C-alpha cells in the first residue's frame, strides 16, 4: 500500500476552517487507499504570540524553556486536526515529537534529528488510522523538548518519510510548485514538473523560498521523493528527486535573484602570499559569512580584493576592513550595498557548454554590467547593480527558453 | 532542608505580570533556604480559548485529542515561569506531566494519578534548581497525554508532595484562606488558622469552593499538610492537616450553604418493604445522584418519601417519579427547587453534645422552618426555604460563636 507523508505549514492550518480543509484533503488521499502520515506546523501567528509572551518576561529566554513554550504551537494543531478528521468519520492519532519519539541532539532552538522510532506509527497505520505528527519538535536523549528551528516542520516530514520508507513526501504550501523564477517578476514563469535535489538546493540557497535547505538535504541524503503542492488548489506540483528520475532534458531549470548581499572591496593590497587569510580571517572570526570572493592583480603589484557578505553584516565588515587596511598598508576600503546576485541553475549545464557565455551576452545586450562572477557545477551567479534585478531576471529567463510558450 | 510544594492557579498566573509576581514569591521562599517545587495551572482564559477552538471543529472531541490540546495550557505556563525565575537569577527547570513522569490511568479528561517518578525532580533539587511542573496533566502507560479534570492542578501538587515527602503543600489562590463561612454573606466571618482534612472535605462537598475535594482526599490519604494561601497578599493562610495537629478546640469550624439542590417527594406510598429501592432504583439507573433522603410514616399506613437531587436533574427526576407513582399506586409527586441546605461542620461535635439542638433552636428563634435534616459524624445539614439562606448562615455563624470578636 502506498505510504504518503504530507506536511502542512502554518498558513495551511491557520484557522479552524483551513484545518477542516486540510482534513478534507487528507481524507481524499486516504480514500484512494493510501496510508497517510501528516506533519503540521503551528497555526500561523501562534509562534509569534508565544515568542511575544516570552519576550515580555525576558529578552533572552533560555533555549530549553523556549522550546517547551514554542512546541505547544504544533501540539495544538495536531489535536485540532485529529478532531477534524474524526468528526469526518476517520480515526486519527496525534503524536508530539516526544511521543513518536523523534530523537534529536540537545541544541535547543535548532536541534538536529538523530533518529525516529517508527514502531507506533507503523502499528497505527496497520490499524487503519491516519497519523498526525507535530512538526518542528523532538526530544533529546534526556527527554528534554527540543525544536528544530526555522523550517523544521519540512525536515520532520522528510525524516518521517525516510524512517517509514514512504513513497513520497508532499510539502503543502501557499504556492503550487517550484517555478523557473519568481512569477511576480516574470509573469511568464513556468511551474517545473520536476527538479533535482541539487538544483533545488542551489535555488533555495540563492533565494527561492519554497523549501528549507535542510529538508532538501535530508531528502537527498535518504533519497526521499519530495513534492511541493498547494494547500489551496489541486495540481501536480513539483517533484524533487534524484537526477535519474528527471525526465526534462533542459539546460537551465531556473533563474534566481538575491538582494540580501552587499559587496566590500579592499583596494591596493600588496600582492603577497597570505593576503586572503589576513583579510578574511578577521571577518570569519566575527562570525560573518562570506559568499563570493574575487581577487584581481593590478599592474603595480597590488591587488584588489572583493567579496560579498549579508547586508546585515555590511557595516561591521567595513569596520573590520578598516583595521585590516592599516595592518596590510592597503589603499582604501570600498563597498556597495545596492547589488543583486542573479543566478542560473541547472543540472543540464554539466553537459552543455556555453551557458556562461550565453548568460553574459544576454546581460550585455541589455547594457547590464557584470561586477562579479562565481560558478559551481550546476550554477552561474553574477553580481550586477540592484536596479537591474527585474530586467536581468526577465532577460535570463527568456534567453534560456524558460518562458511559458 | 525544608521541601515545599507550591501550587498557583490560573488567576495567579493569568498575565505576564502575575507570573513575574509568582516568581518573586517563589524566590522569597527559596531565599529562606527552602527547596521549592511549583505546580501551575494554565493562564486564566487559556483553557477556555483552547476548548472554544475544539468546539469550532466538533461538539464532541475525542478525549485523547482534547487532552493533547488542553495540556498545552500548563506547558506554556511552566516555560514562562521558568524564564521569569531565570531572568531573576535563579536556575529553574520545567517538566510536563509526561516528562516527570506522572503516570495516570487512561481515563481521558478525568484521569487519576497512579504514581509519580520523583527521581529527576530530586536530582534537580539537589543541584539547587527550582522545579516547575505542569499541573492537571500526566501520561498513561502507553505514553498518551491525559488530564485530571477540574481542579487537577491541586491534585498534582498534593501528589508531588506525597511522592517527594514534602513538608508542606501550599495552594495559592485568590482568597487568603478557608473561612468559617462565606465572607460575602457574613462579613464577620473569620479565617481559620487550621482545619482537619475531614472538616475540609465536608465543607468542600457542602459548597465551599476553595479546594477541590479530590486533592484534600489525596492529602488525607498520604497525610500531606496542605495550606491555602493568597497569591496576592502575604499571610499565614489556613493549614489543613490531620486531627492530631489541630490546636483550636472549637465545636464548629464552619457554616456552609448550598443551593445547588432541589427536593422531590413521592406522597402516599404504601408502607411496604422494598419501597425505597422501587423509588430510588430508577433514579440511580438514570445516573442521577441523590443526597439527603427522608421517609415518614403516616397514620394511614402510607409513607411520604422525600429526597434531594442536583437542581439540574430536578425535571428529569420528577418525570421518573411520575412513572414510579403509577407502579406503586402512590398519591402524588411533589417538589421544590427553592431550597437551600445549611450545614454546620466541626470535628469538635464528636465530643460535644447538643450541637443539633443548638442549631435547631437558633433557626427556630428566627422563624426558619426546617424541612429536612441529615447528620454525619462531624456535620449537621438542614434544608430550609431558599429565601432564608443569608439569615440562616448569619444566625448559625453567630450562634456557634464564629463571629470575629
**Cα-based angle A264, A270, A271 (whole degrees, multiple of 5):** 95
| CA triple B115-B139-B77, angle to 5 deg | 100
Task: Tell me whether A162 touches chain B (CB under 8 Å).
Answer: no
Phi-psi region of B29 (alpha: psi -120 to 50; beta: other; left: phi over 0): alpha
Report the Cα B226 to chain-centroid distance in Å: 13
Q: Could B83 and A62 be called an inter-chain contact, meaning their C-beta atoms sit closer than 8 Å?
A: yes
Q: Is B145 on the interface with A (CB under 8 A)?
A: yes
Q: Which positions in chain B touch A94 (Cβ < 8 Å)?
A: 64-65, 68
| Chain A closest-CA separation from residue B62 CA (Å) | 7
Contact with chain B for residue A356, Cβ under 8 A: no
Q: Do A84 and B56 touch (CB under 8 A)?
A: no
Contact of A399 with A380, CB cutoff 8 Å: no
Q: Cβ separation of B62 and A50 shorter than 8 Å?
A: no
In DSSP notation, B119-150 reads HHHHHHHHTT-EEEEETTEEE-TTS-EEE--T
Q: A101 preceded by cis ω (within 30°)?
A: yes
- Measured distance CA(B18)–CA(B23) in Å, rounded: 8
Please tell me the predicted confidence (pLDDT) of residue B245: 52
Q: CB contacts < 8 Å between A and B, how many?
A: 111
Residue B53's DSSP bridge partners are none
Per-residue pLDDT tens digits for A242-267:
875 555 567 888 999 999 999 999 99
Q: Which of A269, A272, A294 is nearest to A383 (CA)?
A: A294
Closest CA to A396 of A251, A233, A291: A251
Q: Is the CB of B75 inside 8 Å of chain A's CB atoms?
A: yes
* B264, B335 contact by CB (below 8 A): yes
Q: Do A62 and B54 touch (CB under 8 A)?
A: no
Closest CA to A150 of A232, A224, A209: A209
* Counts for chain B of helices (H) and strands (E), in that order: 13, 20
C-alpha span between A39 and A6 (Å, rounded):
6
Tell me which of A21, A51, A57, A75 to substitute to probe the interface with B (most B C-beta atoms closer than 10 Å).
A57
Closest-CA residue in chain B for A54?
B80
Among A84, A75, A77, residue whose Cα is nearest residue A25: A84
User: With an 8 Å Cβ cutoff, are A57 and B82 in contact?
Assistant: no
Q: Give the number of other CB atoms < 10 A from CB of residue B67.
A: 26
Instruction: Output the nine-digit C-alpha cell for A22.
Output: 486540510
Q: What are phi and psi of A187, to 5 degrees?
A: -60, -25
User: Could you say which of A56, A68, A79 has the minimum Cβ distance to residue B68?
Assistant: A79
Between positions 16 and 55 of A, the ones with CB within 8 A of B are 16, 19-20, 50, 53-54
Looking at residue B310, its pLDDT comes to: 93
Burial A30-64 (b: 16+ CB within 10 A, else e): beeebbbbbbbbbbbebbeebeebbebbbeebbbb
Nearest CA in chain A to B63: A83
Altogether, the residues listed in chain B come to a count of 405
Average pLDDT over residues A111-130: 96
Name the residue among B71, B75, B83 with its Cβ closest to that of A58. B83
What residues in B contact A64, CB-CB < 8 Å?
Answer: 93-94
Q: Which residues of B335-362 are buried (b: 16+ CB within 10 A; e: fewer)?
A: bbeebbbbbbbbbbbeeeeebeebbeeb
How far CA A380 is from CA of A75, A389, A403, B44, in Å, comes to 43, 16, 19, 56
> Does residue A303 sit at the B interface (CB-CB below 8 Å)?
no
Class of domain B3-174: alpha beta
Q: Are B79 and A86 in contact (CB < 8 Å)? A: no
B391: contact with A, CB 8 A cutoff: no
Could you count the other beta carbons within 10 Å of the beta carbon of residue B332? 12
Q: Closest to B62 (Cβ–Cβ): which among A50, A66, A86?
A: A86
CA atoms within 13 A on the CB side of A258: 25
CA distance A111 to chain B (A): 18
Task: Give the gyration radius of chain A's Cα atoms.
Answer: 24
Residue A175 near residue A231 (C-beta atoms within 8 A): no
CA–CA separation, A361 and A344 (whole Å) = 14
Q: Over range A134-158, report the average pLDDT.
A: 94
Q: Which of B388, B384, B357, B356 is nearest to B371 (CA)?
A: B384
Residue A210 pLDDT > 80, yes or no? no
Which residues of B fall within a CB distance of 8 Å from A96?
A: 68, 145
| Chain-chain contact of B75 with A78 (C-beta, under 8 angstroms) | no
CB distance B68 to B3 below 8 Å: no
Q: Using the structure block, give the residue that is written with the C-alpha cell 585590516.
A: A324
Question: Grid coordinates in use for B187?
Answer: 462579613
CA distance B56 to chain A (A): 7
Nearest to A94 among B54, B68, B86 (CB): B68
Instruction: Please tell me the predicted confidence (pLDDT) of residue A140.
Output: 97
Q: Is the minimum CB–CB distance between B137 and chain A shorter than 8 Å?
A: no
What is the β-pairing status of strands A92-95 and A130-134?
A: parallel
For residue B30, the distance in angstroms to the closest alpha carbon of chain A comes to 20
Asked if the C-beta of B71 comes within 8 angstroms of chain A's C-beta atoms, the answer is yes
- Across the interface, whether the CB atoms of B69 and A80 are under 8 A apart is answered yes
CA-based nearest distance A66→chain B, Å: 7
How many Cβ atoms sit within 10 Å of the Cβ of residue A312?
Answer: 11
pLDDT at residue A26 is higher than 90 = yes
Q: In 3D, which of B250, B233, B202 has the Cα closest to residue B349?
A: B250
Does the CB of A14 have a partner CB in chain B at under 8 Å?
A: no
Beta-bridge mates of residue B93: B131
Contact at CB, A80 and B54, closer than 8 angstroms:
yes
Q: State how far residue B79 is from chain A, nearest Cα, in angstroms.
A: 5
Gap between the Cα atoms of B372 and B308, Å rounded: 10
- B94 and A65 within 8 Å at the Cβ level: the answer is yes
CA–CA separation, B162 and B156 (whole Å): 10
Q: What is the pLDDT of residue B248?
A: 53
Confidence category of residue A350, pLDDT binned at 50, 70, 90: confident
| Most B CBs within 10 Å, among A19, A47, A53, A83, to test the B interface | A83
Backbone angles phi, psi at B168, to 5 degrees: -160, 145
ipTM exceeds 0.85:
no
* Chain A residues inside the 8 Å CB shell of B64: 93-94
Is A76's CB within 8 Å of B96's CB?
A: no
Contact: A54, B86; criterion CB under 8 Å: no
DSSP of B204-250, one letter per residue?
HHTT--SS-HHHHHHHHHTT--EEEEESSS----EEEE-GGG-----
Residues of B within 8 A of A93 (CB-CB) are: 64
**pTM value?**
0.84
The answer to whether the CB of A244 falls within 8 A of the CB of A347 is no
Task: Going residue by residue through chain B, which has 405 residues, state the pLDDT in tens, using 9 for 90 and above.
Answer: 899 999 999 999 999 999 999 999 999 999 999 999 999 999 999 999 999 999 999 999 999 999 999 999 999 999 999 999 999 999 999 999 999 999 999 999 999 999 999 999 999 999 999 999 999 999 999 999 999 987 799 999 999 999 999 999 999 998 899 999 998 899 999 999 999 999 999 888 776 677 888 899 999 999 999 999 999 889 999 999 987 555 556 778 899 999 999 999 999 998 887 888 889 999 999 989 898 988 877 777 888 889 999 999 999 999 999 999 999 999 999 999 999 999 999 988 877 778 888 999 999 999 999 999 888 888 999 999 999 999 999 999 999 999 987
pLDDT at A50 exceeding the cut of 60: yes
Q: Which chain B residues are within 8 Å of A69, Cβ to Cβ?
A: 75-76, 79-80, 83
Closest CB to A72 among B57, B65, B75 = B75
Question: Could you tell me whether strands A168-173 and A3-8 are parallel, antiparallel, or unpaired per DSSP bridges?
Answer: parallel
**B107 in reach of chain A (CB within 8 A):** no
* Residue A165 · residue A35 · CB < 8 Å: no
> Quick one: pLDDT at residue B247?
53
Q: Classify B50 as helix, strand or coil.
A: helix
Note whether A2 and A225 are within 8 A (CB): no
Closest residue on chain A to B66 (Cα) = A79
Q: Would the pLDDT of A32 be above 70?
A: yes
Amino acid at each position: 500500500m502506498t505510504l504518503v507523508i504530507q506536511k502542512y505549514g502554518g498558513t495551511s492550518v491557520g484557522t479552524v476552517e483551513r484545518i477542516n480543509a486540510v482534513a478534507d484533503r487528507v481524507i481524499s488521499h486516504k480514500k484512494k487507499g493510501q496510508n497517510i502520515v501528516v506533519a503540521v506546523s503551528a497555526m500561523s501567528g501562534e509562534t509569534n504570540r508565544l515568542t511575544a509572551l516570552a519576550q515580555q518576561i525576558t529578552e533572552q529566554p533560555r533555549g530549553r524553556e523556549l522550546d517547551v513554550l514554542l512546541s505547544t504551537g504544533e501540539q495544538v494543531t495536531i489535536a485540532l486536526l485529529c478532531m477534524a478528521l474524526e468528526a469526518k468519520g476517520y480515526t486519527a492519532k496525534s503524536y508530539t515529537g516526544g511521543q513518536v519519539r523523534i530523537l534529536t541532539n540537545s541544541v535547543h532552538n535548532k536541534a538536529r534529528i538523530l533518529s525516529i522510532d517508527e514502531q507506533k506509527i507503523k502499528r497505527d497505520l496497520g490499524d487503519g488510522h491516519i497519523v498526525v505528527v507535530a512538526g518542528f519538535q523532538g526530544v533529546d536523549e534526556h527527554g528534554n523538548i527540543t525544536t528544530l528551528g526555522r523550517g523544521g516542520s519540512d525536515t520532520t516530514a522528510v525524516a518521517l518519510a525516510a524512517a517509514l520508507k514512504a513513497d513520497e513526501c508532499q510539502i503543502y504550501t501557499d504556492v503550487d510548485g517550484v517555478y523557473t523564477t519568481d512569477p511576480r517578476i516574470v509573469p511568464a514563469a513556468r511551474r517545473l514538473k520536476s527538479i533535482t535535489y541539487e538544483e533545488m538546493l542551489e535555488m533555495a540557497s540563492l533565494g527561492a523560498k519554497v523549501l528549507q535547505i535542510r529538508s532538501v538535504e535530508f531528502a537527498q541524503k535518504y533519497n526521499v521523493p519530495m513534492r511541493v503542492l498547494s494547500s489551496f488548489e489541486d495540481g501536480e506540483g513539483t517533484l524533487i528527486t534524484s537526477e535519474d528520475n528527471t525526465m526534462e532534458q533542459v539546460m537551465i531549470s531556473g533563474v534566481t535573484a538575491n538582494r540580501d548581499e552587499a559587496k566590500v572591496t579592499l583596494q591596493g593590497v600588496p600582492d603577497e602570499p597570505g593576503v586572503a587569510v589576513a583579510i578574511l580571517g578577521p571577518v570569519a572570526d566575527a562570525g560573518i559569512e562570506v559568499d563570493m570572493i574575487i581577487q584581481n592583480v593590478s599592474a603595480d603589484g597590488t591587488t584588489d580584493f572583493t567579496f560579498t557578505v549579508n547586508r546585515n553584516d555590511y557595516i561591521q565588515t567595513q569596520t573590520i576592513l578598516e583595521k585590516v587596511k592599516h595592518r596590510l598598508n592597503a589603499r582604501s576600503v570600498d563597498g556597495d550595498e545596492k547589488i543583486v546576485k542573479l543566478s542560473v541553475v541547472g543540472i543540464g549545464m554539466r553537459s552543455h557548454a556555453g551557458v556562461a557565455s550565453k548568460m553574459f551576452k544576454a546581460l550585455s545586450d541589455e547594457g547590464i554590467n557584470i561586477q562579479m562572477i562565481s560558478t559551481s557545477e550546476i550554477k552561474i551567479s553574477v553580481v550586477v547593480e540592484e536596479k537591474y534585478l527585474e530586467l536581468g531576471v526577465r532577460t535570463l529567463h527568456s534567453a534560456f527558453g524558460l518562458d511559458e510558450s
